[in-house]
Chain A
Amino acid sequence: MANPLFSARGNLGRTAAAHAILIVYTILALYPVFLILINSVKSRRAIFNDPLALPTAQTFDPIGFQTVLEQGNFLLYFQNSLIVTVASLFFVLLFGAMAAFALAEYRFRGNLLMGLYLALGIMIPIRLGTVAILEIMVAAGLVNTLTSLVLVYTAQGLPLAVFILQEFMRQVSDDLKNAARIDGLSEYRIFFTIALPLVRPAMATVAVFTMIPIWNDLWFPLILAPGEATKTLTLGSQIFLGQYVTDWNAVLAALSLAIIPVVVLYLIFSRQLIRGITKGAVK
């Protein structure tokens, strides 16, 4: 597939201008991340003396990473975060796509109302229900389990997922679904083998939107699962942030490490964003 920027349609001047803008934006967007990364490998004194400087032989100090890896159960926290994020993401995408397919595909009484009801969650922050959620989790005996977090995050991510995916599900060709029905595919097969692959780019977008707030959340881990065994990375890193003293080396190192899985997940999804297998389905 030809890159439109380099095709016969674009000229050199426009290409250069477009790239200049993109490069400036990239620098702006990545600069804070860059600062975190360089300061995470500097000594405490160097961080405060000259936070913008690159680490040199004198100022290089991996003390932050040592603290993080030695103190606390950093690897466990890491694993907890990953489990919670991936599991929530899986359920949000699965149930979101299913609901979106049903709302877009089937005519039934109350279809519109159901769609609105499901989208309501976009406007009402789930944190308003924290007390009730906590009560439910206590009653269900789910406090201090990762399950409680997965449940809450799934609920939190679903409204936007349903809302966005519904629009994309509508665009899946009716003829294609009907052809499959005539060929005897069940509605589940139609959903999984025909609709889902065609909305993959939209799924990837939803995944990215859903993943970041879950990975970064402090609120629900603090309330629902503060126990040592179920601490997430964000919560676990809080021990380095004290009221009076903050271990900046450790905080920056923890942050640097926390970026990795997000980047990995993003790379996975952005591949999907770009891949277009829909070409040739219809028309």
Chain B
Amino acid sequence: MGQLKLENACKSFGNVDVIRDVNLDVQDGEFCVFVGPSGCGKSTLLRMIAGLEDITSGDILIDGQVVNTTPPSQREIAMVFQSYALYPHLNVRDNMGLGLKQAGQPKAQVASAVDRAAGMLDLGKYLDRRPGELSGGQRQRVAIGRAIVRKPKLFLFDEPLSNLDAALRVQTRIEIANLHRELGATMVYVTHDQVEAMTLADRIVVLRDGRVEQVGAPMELYNNPANEFVAGFIGSPKMNFLNGPALGAVGKSVGIRPEHITLAGSGDGIEGRVSHVEHLGGETLVYVHADPHGLVTVRLFGEHAYAVNDRLVMRPDMARAFHFDENGHRLHPAPA
């Protein structure tokens, strides 16, 4: 009742290939997140699923039906945009109800669907206001409400939280997670925010240059990245890539997450000099400069009194390290 399948989906603008050979299966009720650097084609892929962008080759299937040429309004999808995209001339009620009204549903039914969605999102007070008379957070909730009212098979979100301030972002993120639980609907969500991806997703799709780099559950990507790109992209702060040969490792680089390094005053380990310290209360980030590895981030739990220019040694937990060759492919060397 909300399955999405992409088969060799491609998209080019003129002779620029933006999406190349994407294969993807999203199960009914799944929360699937697309992440990737800016310009990698996340929005384009989402718009192809919505039908706002023609697909150059390949197939898009919703519930087993090929929808390549189906117009957006008949794909039974709903989309929430980064810019909210509310109709400025309509009040909140009409904004949310327009889709159903266009589909020819009776007035009473539209009204009850709008009221139900407004109830879920706490928008009851604002139903008669125009979008111009709402705050950013309220506008985004109206946009989400407009999506809910349509009772779509598939929810599509394109960076819906990136125009909100930090506190509101966290709150709306939780609201979206709750919504997913309540509705049990299939959702595809585009973001470039680590935390959103890790916290919301059942599965994350990592894209680069229009190609899928890896698909998996958040912890799968964190614990078992397929290559250097995914390893560097998932996790915050970013994974450190140490010089492989200097450590006597097989590959060109050794990836180690900041949380998997411990510090000591002296003894065995990689010697380095503290170049910056960030105290966050719950954790402390220590930036250590070490030749020939460059700047290494170390994440320590709790408060620590390191000062700039302190000399110390780092001890990476090599059991949790990842090895990569010069092309960024993951190596699986036998444990020493």
Contacts and interface: CB of A to CB of B under 8 A. Distances in A.
B131 A183 contact: no
A198 interface: yes
A115 interface: no
A278 B77 CA distance: 27
Given A278-B88, A281-B88, A178 B47 contact: yes
A144 B25 CA distance: 69
Interface in B85-105: 85-89, 98-99, 102-103
Interface residues of A, number: 22
Contacts of A194: 87
Nearest to B163: A283
Given A181-B71, A197-B89, A283 B102 contact: no
A63 B220 CA distance: 95
Contacts of B84: 175, 282-283
Interface string A176-212: 1011111111000000011001100000000000000
Interface residues of B, number: 33
A198 B88 CA distance: 9
B134 interface: yes
B131 to A, nearest CB: 4
Contacts of A282: 83-86
B81 interface: yes
B134 A184 contact: no
Interface in B126-158: 130-134, 136, 139, 146, 150
Given A175-B83, A176-B85, A194-B87, A280 B139 contact: yes
Contacts of A197: 88-89
A281 B131 contact: yes
B38 interface: no
B78 interface: yes
B1 interface: no
Given A181-B73, A280-B133, A175 B103 contact: no
Contacts of A198: 88
Nearest to B90: A193
Interface string B270-291: 0000000000000000000000
A183 B99 contact: yes
A183 B81 CA distance: 13
Contact of B83 (A173, A181, A182, A193): A173
